Amino acid sequence: MANIEDYLHAATRDNTRKSYRAAIEHFEVSWGGFLPATADSITHYIADYADSLSINTLRKRLAGIAAWHQDQGFPDPTKAPHVKKVL
């Protein structure tokens, strides 16, 4: 079983994990969001930061939120059609 954990850990680089943790912290702490998130909360998050963050930064933050949902076994709200339209 330890080998599986090693492979799972190696599948994601440390910098990616740090970036994802920062995205989750920004969503929860800075913005006040709750996890698991809804597609509606994701659209509000995007809209609130659209003027101050670049599209690339928003995409990186959404990637971190998506990864959290996938890792925890929740549906990914960032894939909802209206989230993509708002982005």
* Each residue's pLDDT tens digit, 12-71: 677 888 999 999 999 999 999 999 999 999 999 999 999 999 999 999 999 999 999 999
Domains and CATH numbers, the chain: 14-86 (1.10.150.130)
In this prediction, residue 1 has a pLDDT band, given cuts at 50, 70 and 90, of: low
In the chain, % helix, strand, coil (3-state, to 5) comes to 75, 0, 25
Neighbour count for residue 39 (Cβ, 10 Å): 18
Higher pLDDT, 42 or 3: 42
